[in-house]
Amino acid sequence: MASIKAVLNNDKRYALALLVTLLGAVMFSAKGIFIKFAYQYQVDTVTLMTIRMAISVPVYLLIGFYSERFHQQRVNRQQLVAISVFGFLGYYLASYLDMHGLHYISVSLERVILYLYPTFVLLLSAVVLKQRVSRREITALMVAYLGIAFIFSEDMSGEMENGLLGGVLVALSALSFAIFMLGSDRQIKLVGSVRFTAYAMSAAGFSVFVHYMLSDRSGILQLDSQVYVWAGILAVLSTIIPTFFLSHGMKVLGAKKVSMLGVIGPVSTMFLAVIFLGERLTSIRITGIIVVILAVSFIVIFNKADKDKQ
């Protein structure tokens, strides 16, 4: 009887983790929608990021401070510096490049380009860590970039100015996030996912505040009220909640399943962009997204399988 209860409890725990992971992926991917809405009110990237982080950072600091109570060892100065560096790369620089790129390209294309970060992880592993790249991985890379070119060619055929600039900015964002993913793994194992996320996001927030002050901007309190509404939604629904949802998913489901469930991100964003932003849902766009998702999923699956054999 006890074993049956244990199985049922495990099933409920698994189902809950599955639900929050899917929801977290959708919420995180929806940030492009909220950013596009905010941009309609003539707010610049840095100001929008500043309002977003002004709402988010106090929450992350509070969670980080509270989580210290559940660990015997506190985060030391060396670890804090390392976490801050990775927070700068993964949550400030990547976010800034991504949000700035959204000035020039569609939300659907932005999300698909960002989804290429596992391919950048693979390339960096080969170049920096001198790890071997198999033929099947090279093939998957080529297929993934072909899918991006497919979608990008359609976006460029329209009247979108500086589409190439937007694509490059978002690609650099994916590269920055890939560096973050490669380097942060050790720190997450040392301090735990909750503390790492809380401190890394806090460091990113302070980077945004410094950027804002150095930009010598004014009038942050005189913006259209809708900017604050969308920034608040961006902070809560596409920053704070999904980061901890995905952390819980990593804890229960593991990295492989969370990576695979991330496939829902580009798909959900594509449909949300059609519904809320009026973006076109064409056969070329659908084909390109499917090609990219299959190629990246192939890389994620076989990378995990190769690691399990080692």
pLDDT, tens digit, for every residue of 42-63? 899 999 999 999 999 999 999 9
Average model confidence (pLDDT) across the chain: 84
Nearest Cα neighbor of 256 from 192, 304, 203, 195 is 304
236 vs 150, higher pLDDT: 236
Nearest Cα neighbor of 94 from 232, 253, 201, 245 is 201
Instruction: Measure the CA–CA gap between 92 and 256, rounded to whole angstroms.
Output: 25
> Which single residue is written with the structure tokens 């629904």?
237
What is the longest distance spanned by two Cα atoms in the chain?
67
Nearest-5° angle of CA 226, CA 233, CA 39? Answer: 45
Q: How confident is the model at residue 232 (pLDDT cuts 50, 70, 90)?
A: very high
2 pLDDT higher than 50: no
Phi first, then psi: give them for residue 294, nearest 5 degrees. Answer: -65, -45
Nearest Cα neighbor of 263 from 290, 288, 241 is 290
Nearest Cα neighbor of 271 from 66, 119, 107, 50 is 107
pLDDT at residue 303 in the model: 56
Q: Which whole-number Å values give the CA distances from 154 to 283, 284, 288, in the listed order?
A: 11, 7, 10
* Residues 6+ away with beta carbon under 8 Å from 264: 22, 25, 26, 29
Tokens matching residue 214? 């150095």
Contact (CB, 8 A) for 265 and 29 = yes
Q: What is the per-residue pLDDT across 89-138, written as a single tens digit (0 to 9) for each?
A: 999 999 999 999 999 888 888 888 887 887 888 788 888 877 777 788 78
Q: Which whole-number Å values give the CA distances from 310 to 23, 92, 304, 305, 307, in the listed order?
A: 32, 34, 10, 9, 5
4 pLDDT higher than 50: no
The pTM for the full model equals: 0.83
HEC profile of 259-283: HHHCCHHHHHHHHHHHHHHCCCCCH
Phi first, then psi: give them for residue 263, nearest 5 degrees. Answer: -55, -30
32 pLDDT higher than 80: yes
Residue type, 46: V
Phi first, then psi: give them for residue 130, nearest 5 degrees. Answer: 60, 35
Mean pLDDT of 19-41: 92
Contact (CB, 8 A) for 258 and 301 = no
Contact (CB, 8 A) for 253 and 18 = yes
Reduced to 3 states (helix: H, G, I; strand: E, B; else coil), residue 219 is: coil
